[in-house]
Amino acid sequence: MVNPLYLIIISLMAGFVLPLLDRVNRKLSLATFIGVLLANTVITGFWMHGFIQADLGTLSFSTAGFTAPLSINFQLGILEAFVLLAINLIGLLTGIYLLKKFNESPLAGMILFIMVVMGANGLILTRDLFNAFVFMEILSISTIAIITLKRTNESLSSGFKYMLASGIASIFFLLGVVFIYFFSGSLNLDFININFTDYRLIAVYMVAIALLIELKMFPVNGWALDVYESTDAGVATIISVINSTAIAFMFYKIMPLLPSNFLYIFGIIGALTYLMSNLMGLKQENARRLLGYSSIGQMGLLLASIIFTAGLEPVLRIMIVGGFFLNHLIAKTGLFWISGLIKKEKLKDWRVIRSNKSLMIMFGIFIFALSGFPPFAGFWAKWEFVKSLLAGQNILIIALILLGSLFEVIYMFRWFIQTVKGEYKEDELSIMPSGKVILTTLLGTLGFGLGILIMKNYYGFNFLFTLPILSLLFIYLIDFLPAKIKGIMSLGGLAYYGYYLYTLVQFENPIQILFGVIFLVGSGVNLISTLNRSEISKGFYGLLMMMIFSFGSLLIARSYLEFFLSWELMTIASFLLILRGKNAQKASLMYMIFSIAGAYLMMVGFGFAPELIGSSALITGLTYVQLPLISIILLALGFMIKSGVLGVHVWLPEAHAEAEADVSSFISAILLKAGIWGFLLVAISVVWNAPQFDVYYWMGWLGVFTALVGAFLASFQEDAKRLLAYSSMSQVGYIIAAISMLSHLGWVSAFYLSLNHMMFKSALFIAIAGVYYRTHTRNMYEMGGLIKKMPLSFISVLISIIAVSGVPPLSGFGSKWLMYSSFIERGWYLQAAVLFFASAVSFLYLYRLIHTIFLGQAKYEHKDVKEAPVWFIIPQYIFIGAIMVLSTFPNLLIKPLSAMASQYFNSNIVIDGYNVYSSYGHWNGNLIMLVTMGVFIVPLFFLILFIGKITKVKQFNIVYAAERPESPQTTHVAHNMYAHYRKALGGWGKPRIWDFWHGSAEWAHTMGDFFRRIYSGNGQTYLLHIILFFVVVFFLGV
Amino acid sequence: MIETLILGFILLLIGLYAMLSQKNIIKIILGFSIADTGVHIIIVSLGYLKGRRAPILDSAVDIANSVKEVVDPIPSALVLTAIVIGLATTALMLVFAAELHKRKASFSIDDYKELKW
Amino acid sequence: MINKLLIIIGIIGMLLILLPILVNFQSPTNLSALAEEYVRGSVNDLKSPNVVTSVVVTYRGLDTLGEVTVLFLATLGVGFLLENKKNKSTQRTVSENIRTTSSFLVSLIMVLGIYIFTHGHLSPGGGFQGGVVIASGFLLLILSDLDFKISHAILRFVESISGLVYVLIGLIGLVLTIGFLNPAILPLGKYGDLFSAGAIPLIYSLIGLKVGSELTNIIATMGSDRSSESVVKEER
Amino acid sequence: MDIFIKIIYAAISILVATLYGLILIGIVHKIYARVHRRIGPPVWQPILDIIQTHGRKVATSHGIMFFLGPVFRMAGGMGTYLFMPVIFGSVVFSNYSMAGDLLLVMYFIFFGQLGMALGAGEGGHPYSPLGIARGLSQMSTFELPFSLAVISIAIQYQTLNITTIVAAQQGGMLNWTLFTNPLAVIAAMISLLGMNMHSPFSLVLAPQEIPIGPPIEMNGSFLGILQTNRALFASAKLVLFMNLFFGGATNLPIMMLKTFSIYMFSVFIGAAFPRFRPEQSFRFFLRIPTLIGILSVIVIAYL
Amino acid sequence: MNSLIIIGLGVIMIAAAIFTIYQKSIVSAIISAGVISLLASVIYLILGSPDVAMTEASIGSALTTVVFLYALNRMRKEKKDDK
């Protein structure tokens, strides 16, 4: 093992020798510069390798021929090696990134850079407190000096502020260190063996506070923001990554000295920093400063994780802290680098990034990584961290962190969406230096690879769970192919996947097969409609397959983590798919925010859940554990958010409406079912162990009102897709309510409805997609009379809406019958009445849908409209066919569904031939079909026989006050069709939930704006913050 | 020695007060310098043992019994380092101040808040 | 006004926090174990009468190396920030008397400086103090002789070489596997001699040279006149 | 064989119900006329009207859906009627009630309405969708109290099977739901006013606002079928109410008596009140009748 | 004896510190801050740390003051040049 002193020696020698070399040749000094950084990286790499190969424990290296505590010693363990490797690697890469800059500026820049890295290395390695002080000074002085690499008023003044703050911090640190020596008689961390209680506390307190200041904790971090904003991108990187990491590591080293109550407070400060800086970031419009807020937040998170993982086993601790660290390291480095390439201050000007495809992808990767999405390290870290915090009952910390994380997601994704979707002019194009772009790409790939590494090696995930990611990558590679080829390949892949799951994985539970049909067969049929894409559709199939395979993974997940992983992958894919829509900025952002909020609820919910026994699929595994109430509530809420339950439904119409036409059907018909699947899993566990009827009673009400409100909202829409979206919300409400009943019949009806909804909603969305494809509008009042142009679409819509409405004889009635029977049987009478009301209201929107599009007066501009493309027609008729078959032979479905539900409940429906008996009534689908056909045929024949001569008339030949109407626009009753009803509802018709969420968002922004006023820009105010922070935190702790 | 310790604390606080209350950047740096001096005095006071002499073991000291005769050398060693570092910091601060002044020709720290929020 | 109040609160708060230390302060009666080791070791292992020097140069040699680095960085930073243009020749003249007196004084000061850092292990003082003395000599020169121009190149050279040798001396110890910066790479010699205590005098001399050149550099850079039209390029 | 007999029985049943419904309408017209101090048309006038409209040689059609609309409507009426037993204990009049229960009947009502709405929609006349919008809205509101009443009696009799419900009401007037569960009956009867679309709830046909409403474009045989259905559907609804709330009927005369009385109830109310504006009507149903319905459920289920 | 000296010195130093803060003339303030360091070095001597005393005297009082004055000089010059 190479002596770690060499890290210092090499850097110092280089530092001293560079001024001489530079006299000879600048090239030489540049080579030396890179050589030193490379040597550091290689050395640390060897250590890491050595530590991975063999468990060497921690090695101590002393100086001056004496052992510690006489002399200063360095300690090298796997942790040190890991952190050192990471920061030296970033140092090397950033050094390369800055090479051009260094070539043009004075030599001092390079030396200072080396010294920053050396200071960080020394700070991490040393065990001597005073030595740490020296290295800290090296670190901060070199950092401050290098800030002026970019020479502006701003960077100078921010450097000065930094100096003042770090000056005070170093005074505290020095005093603290000396007092520690005075009280304990040693400066070496390994030999300090007294407790710092009573008045001695101040010694360690001062050291800790100094580190917190240097770590830029809230609120003593105003100067740091200025620095991030004003300095060169590369320098900001090393401050954010190298500098902060070294200090965080130092904090880790002095942790054993700190009393536990203070540690707790520092942990809270860390979490609070995370929350506050992200809250304040909401209002930020300057990209660099935003990254500054984010950096500071991440440091807070890192600090909190260091403190609150103290009791964990080392490997897990490394997973958590190391995960956050790596994530921050890579994402923030990448983002800062990109900011250096973009050279735009305003967030919205970043759209020029679109001129460079790979940079844009990297930007996305870094943002996803920073937001804690799989497979990046932050995801795993957050998962384990929340779990461990829960084990320690630190609810407050979880709340702070998750809320902070949510804010971070909000501004990061707002930025991302703005960047990816914003219009940009060609002349804004800027040519990016390709070397730096490659470097950034390398970094992004590294981050991605690391995540995959954790996934494969630490957790040992099955191939199936990496499939979503792999498919994305694979299709990205063949993205140059035409859409049809990719589509057919996807279809083939999906078919094989389904076959593979069915035959080889072998479902443990028939319910899995049901949802497999919904997820995979449904997706497969829906996929046909995407074959209509004629262009290349870059990126589309990759994301689509990623989403579909994630559905599959959800089905077979065997642990909470597998489930959550697949869930998050699904969220990524669906978010990006929605984002593809033309005006989907707002929609996709809302989708992301709500998804993340839901995911966090789930994460906490899973954290509370007891460990699973064995490795069977979740649907079996969950039956062996008893979920605590809190877990049930959180999980159910998380899943309900994804399903768009009342109160959190606001994302749903936007996402459905703004997504591309053939994507909406996936979202509505299948994605919402993923929420249902999760909700069902929780319910299964509950049913099997201790039925929590109270909670589910209220969830039932929630579902019922979702159904009602969804139906009303759907009735008041002008936009066809929005109407269908609210209709989906309404239907999901039925399903949620039915599952919440926790009864046999309830579940049968929920299953029945889930499958039915998948079919008819797919058909409807695809039909509307066809209409949109032809008419280029989603506003129903702009259509009309299309029945003559698009008869096939009309028929499929007709049959679908009959199925939705539940009018006999189609399969919809089956679900209604099961539903009401189960509600009455379960004793949920009022709920049943509300549902009945909801389904009556649903006629309003269904009629509106079919009438305003297909009936009434045709518009002139649609006179050349043709039938929808065949690729849209095929899947519709597959679904329609399935609906017809299941309507005629309902037992095909009822029997297996009943069997599924009777795994958990005593069956109380009897199936006798075509008769289905519940304890309240009966229903014979076959006979109904026959009678209906009979009563339909009789008047039909009568009419055909006796009608006499039929005269066909032209469009406007109607009895209209003896006048010919002027135009279809005035004659087609479509706009605001149910105005009376809206009026009748009065105050109930106001969009209160929208107002609530808007208000909340507004409030958060106002709060962020309010708090960030403390950063007055005045260096002296920042000093005052520091002093007051010192005082207040001390008295809080005491 | 408690007297010097108190003195050190007073100087530290005066220095901090100056840093917080003075608008003139030179005065702020002076405040830092005073606080630094205070810290150094505190450190040296902590190493002092009553009635002992400097840790230089020349002929005037009984070498065999030296540990009973000299003051603690460690704080002195630390302060040596700290003083030099203090100088380095002060010099850098002053250069920053000078450069800032060059841009805006103002001594007041209130004039250097281009960046905020 | 609120600002003032907060400042007062802050300072009083700090006072309250620090007060317990004063109240509980007891002057120790014995050296700490570590200090005792140092005192003994300085005599026995290092043969250096000045314990502080032993601690600074040997036991905590890494600190000192770091400290030199900090100063080095400050020099760099100062130079980096104040990119000096050519000195403007000023018309002010200094009397011949002052000039000769000062050059005489300067040579005395230099000798004193060298004495201080070479005797660092024997008497109070050492590399830093000596270095400062040397720097003050140069300061005197700058003040008295306005035409005097210090060659930055030479300063850089001295600075670099002394720093490099310092590190190399440390490295020798590492290569000999007796420890980085171990002064025992040279014979320890006789207690109390000038050439004793191993490499301590050598190291201290190098430190003296380095500190001297660095400080001179700082002074020279800061003191040098800068023409007002030398506007540093702004990056925007 | 069985099936054929069943079909013949069903045909008889429908014929009787249709004629009865037509005569009921005639009677109502007569009563209105008398109230207005006119002589009025003869009671069989509706039958003559139907024959007359069917006799038209020419019919105007706006398209397939327009053509199918009346068919749907008629099928809806026939189906609704056929899925419930008309006379308790009678084989001929038990219809196809074994195909499903009360829920089926309630939902089959929508079948005809939906079909009619679609057919009328294709007519392209603005009054049609206006009328339909009103009709659907009002339907959704009066279904709420009605469904509450139905739920209430389902709880009361522990079944949704109409035959069983009727059976439970046998053995004297006091066993009728009217007396055993009066709240539910009140709620349902108010809904019936809406269902029958008599004043004050005659929003859909509203002569002064949107004359005739949805079927405005219907003519010839289309109109004839619609008129036929109107009679059949009216009697189907009455039979449903009779079965659920008034003890059903064991023979034809009792059935006629009971249904006539129920019908007269809505006719007299209609003659007495002026028409509501749409939103007034919606609000009305969502308030008092709904409250009564909820009360009836609560009383039956929890008290 | 030592205590008395120290208290005396201390009072002067504190006075100098306060003078530094409230003195309008920056040059005087810088000089008086230098005085504090100089007196501090006396205190170090009393506390048995001649090494520190030497360092403080040379660096703390002399060099620091010089650096301050130089910096001030630079700024002053700026002002003149500006006018």
CATH number at residue B32: 1.10.287.3510
- pLDDT tens digits for range D109-162: 888 888 888 888 888 888 888 888 888 898 899 989 999 999 999 999 999 899
pLDDT number for residue C228 = 34
Q: Do E58 and C225 touch (CB under 8 A)?
A: no
Contacts of C132 in chain E (CB under 8 A): 55, 58-59, 62-63
**C215 CB near a chain E CB, below 8 Å?**
yes
A915 burial via Cβ count (<10 Å: 0-12, 13-18, 19+):
middle
Please choose, from the candidates E49, A160, C47, C24, the residue with its C-alpha nearest in 3D space to the C-alpha of residue B82: E49
| Whether A855 contacts A784, CB under 8 Å | yes
Query: What is each CA distance from A134 to A184, B81, C216, in whole angstroms?
Result: 20, 8, 22
| Residue A920 contacts D, CB cutoff 8 Å | yes
From the list A6, A135, A1030, the residue facing C14 with the nearest CB is A1030
Residue bearing tokens 């019958």: A817
Q: State the angle between helix axes of A201-214 and A129-147 in degrees (0 to 180), rounded to the nearest 10.
A: 20
Q: Quote the CA–CA distance of C26 and A994 in Å, as a whole number.
A: 67
pLDDT tens per residue, range A367-419: 999 998 988 999 999 999 998 898 888 889 999 999 999 999 999 999 999 88
Separation between Cα atoms, residue A116 and residue A119, nearest integer Å? 5
Total residue length of chain D: 303
Classified as helix, coil or strand, C52 is helix
With an 8 Å Cβ cutoff, are D58 and A948 in contact? yes
Structure tokens at D25: 């309408």
The mean of the pLDDT values for chain A is 89
The whole-model pTM stands at: 0.92
Chain C CB contacts of A69 under 8 Å are 34
Determine, for residues B46 and A179 on separate chains, whether the beta-carbon distance falls below 8 Å.
Answer: yes
Read off the pLDDT of each residue in A577-591 and give the average, rounded to a whole number. Answer: 90
Asked whether the beta carbons of C200 and C173 are under 8 A apart, the reply is no
In the predicted model, is pLDDT for residue C94 greater than 70?
A: no
DSSP per residue over A278-325, as a string? HHHHTT--BHHHHHHHHHHHHHHHHHHHHHHTTTS-HHHHIIIIIHHH
CB burial of A813-848 (b: ≥16 within 10 Å; e: otherwise) equals: bbbbbbbbbbbbbbebbbbbbbbbbbbbbbbbbbbb
**CB nearest A843 (choices: D61, D140, D286):** D140
Average pLDDT value for residue range A957-979:
75
Size of interface C-E (CB pairs under 8 A): 49
Which pLDDT score, from 0 to 100, does residue A962 have?
63
B3, B24, B47 ranked by CB distance to E10: nearest = B3
Residue A38 has pLDDT above 70, yes or no: yes
- Residue C86: pLDDT above 50? no
What DSSP line would sit under A409-442, residue for residue?
Answer: HHHHHHHHHHHHHS---GGG--PPPHHHHHHHHH
Measured CA to CA, the distance from residue A636 to residue C85 in angstroms comes to: 71
Q: Is E62 on the interface with B (CB under 8 A)?
A: no
Domain that holds residue B21: 2-53+65-111
End-to-end alpha carbon distance in chain E = 55
pLDDT at residue D247 tops 90: no
Note whether E50 contacts B54, CB cutoff 8 Å: yes
From the list C50, C125, C219, which residue is nearest E66 (CB)? C219
Q: What's the total number of domains in chain D?
A: 1
User: Does the residue B116 lie in any domain?
Assistant: no
pLDDT in tens, A217-229: 988 888 899 999 9
Strands A910-912 and A915-917: antiparallel
Q: Is the dihedral of CA A460, A465, A467, A469 positive or negative?
A: negative
The answer, yes or no, to whether the previous bond of A219 is cis (omega within 30 of 0) is yes
The answer to whether D and A touch (≥3 CB pairs < 8 Å) is: yes
- Banded model confidence at residue C145, pLDDT cuts 50, 70, 90: low
In a domain, B44, yes or no: yes
What does residue D63 show for φ and ψ, rounded to 5 degrees? Answer: 145, 180
To the nearest whole Å, the CA of A950 is away from the closest chain D CA by: 5
- pLDDT at A580 exceeding the cut of 80: yes
How much is the pLDDT for A493?
A: 93
Which residues fall within 8 angstroms of residue D247, CB to CB, at 6 or more apart? D166, D169, D170, D173, D175, D176, D177, D178, D258
User: In whole angstroms, what is the distance from residue A61 CA to residue A73 CA?
Assistant: 5
Residue A962 amino acid letter? A
- Closest partner residue to C55 (CB to CB) among B57, B70, B73 is B73
One-character DSSP codes across B69-107 = TB--HHHHHHHHHHHHHHHHHHHHHHHHHHHHHHHH---
Residue B59 with chain C: CB contacts under 8 Å: 192
- Distance of residue A143 Cα from the nearest chain B Cα, in angstroms: 12
The closest of A179, A37, A191, A13 to A121, measured between CA atoms, is A37
Give the domain extent around E14: 2-82
Q: ipTM, 2 decimals?
A: 0.88
Please give, rounded to a whole number of angstroms, the shortest distance from the CA of A942 to a CA of chain D: 9
Shortest Cα distance, chain E CAs vs residue C158, angstroms: 20
C173-190 mean pLDDT = 77
| CA-derived radius of gyration, chain B | 20
Alpha-carbon span D153 to D179, nearest angstrom:
12
Report the C-alpha gap between A699 and A707 in whole angstroms.
12
How close does chain A come to B89, measured CA to CA in Å? 7
> pLDDT > 70: what percent of chain A?
99
Identify which of A440, A415, A115 has the alpha carbon closest to the alpha carbon of residue A285: A415
Q: Which of E44, E56, E66 to mutate to test the interface with C (most CBs of C within 10 A)?
A: E66
A411 close to A290: Cβ distance less than 8 angstroms: yes
Residue D14 lies in domain:
2-302
Mean pLDDT in residue range A203-215:
92
Residue C13 and residue A1027: Cβ atoms within 8 Å? yes
Confidence of residue C137 (pLDDT cuts 50, 70, 90): confident
Residue B117 forms part of a structural domain? no
Single out the residue of A892, A944, A885 nearest to residue A914, CA to CA.
Answer: A892
Total domains in chain E come to 1
Domain boundaries, chain C: 62-84+94-224
Virtual CA dihedral for A606, A610, A613, A617, nearest 10 degrees?
-30
Per CB-CB distance under 8 Å, the chain B contacts of C28 are 49, 72
Length of chain C: 236
Q: By the 8 A CB rule, do A973 and D117 touch?
A: no
Query: Which positions in chain A touch C47 (Cβ < 8 Å)?
Result: none
Q: What is the mean pLDDT of chain C?
A: 78
Q: Into how many domains does chain B fold?
A: 1
Select the residue from B17, B24, B25, B27 to test the E interface by mutation, using most E Cβ atoms within 10 A: B27
pLDDT given at position A621: 86
Neighboring chain B residues of A157 at a CB cutoff of 8 Å: 100, 112-115
| Model pLDDT, residue D188 | 92
Contact across the interface for C52 and B98, Cβ inside 8 Å: no
Question: B77-108 pLDDT, tens per residue?
Answer: 899 889 989 989 999 999 888 888 888 888 88
Q: Is the peptide bond before A890 cis (omega within 30 degrees of 0)?
A: no
A1028 at interface of C, judged by CB pairs closer than 8 A:
yes
- Interchain contact A/C (3 or more Cβ pairs less than 8 Å): yes
Q: Is the separation of the CB atoms in A683 and A623 below 8 Å? A: no
Looking from the CA of D158 toward its CB, the CA atoms found within 13 Å total 2
- Quick one: pLDDT band at residue A430, thresholds 50, 70, 90? low
The answer to whether residue B59 sits within a structural domain is no
Query: What gap in Å lies between CA C38 and CA B77, rounded to an integer?
Result: 11
d(C-alpha A881, C-alpha A859), whole Å: 31
Asked whether residue A113 carries a pLDDT value surpassing 90, the answer given is yes
Above 80 in pLDDT, residue B57? no
Provide the pLDDT confidence category of residue A909 given band limits of 50, 70 and 90: confident
Cβ distance D60 to A953 less than 8 Å, yes or no, reads yes
Check if C186 contacts E (Cβ < 8 Å). Answer: no
Given CA atoms A904, A909, A910, A913 in this order, what sign does their dihedral have?
Answer: negative
Instruction: Answer whether A160 sits within 8 Å of B96, measured CB to CB.
Output: yes
Which one-letter DSSP state was computed for residue A779?
Answer: B
Largest CA distance in chain E: 55
Chains A vs E: touching, with 3+ CB pairs under 8 Å? no
Amino acid at A12: L
How far is Cα A80 from Cα A249, in angstroms, rounded to an integer? 9
CA E62/CA E73 separation, integer angstroms? 16
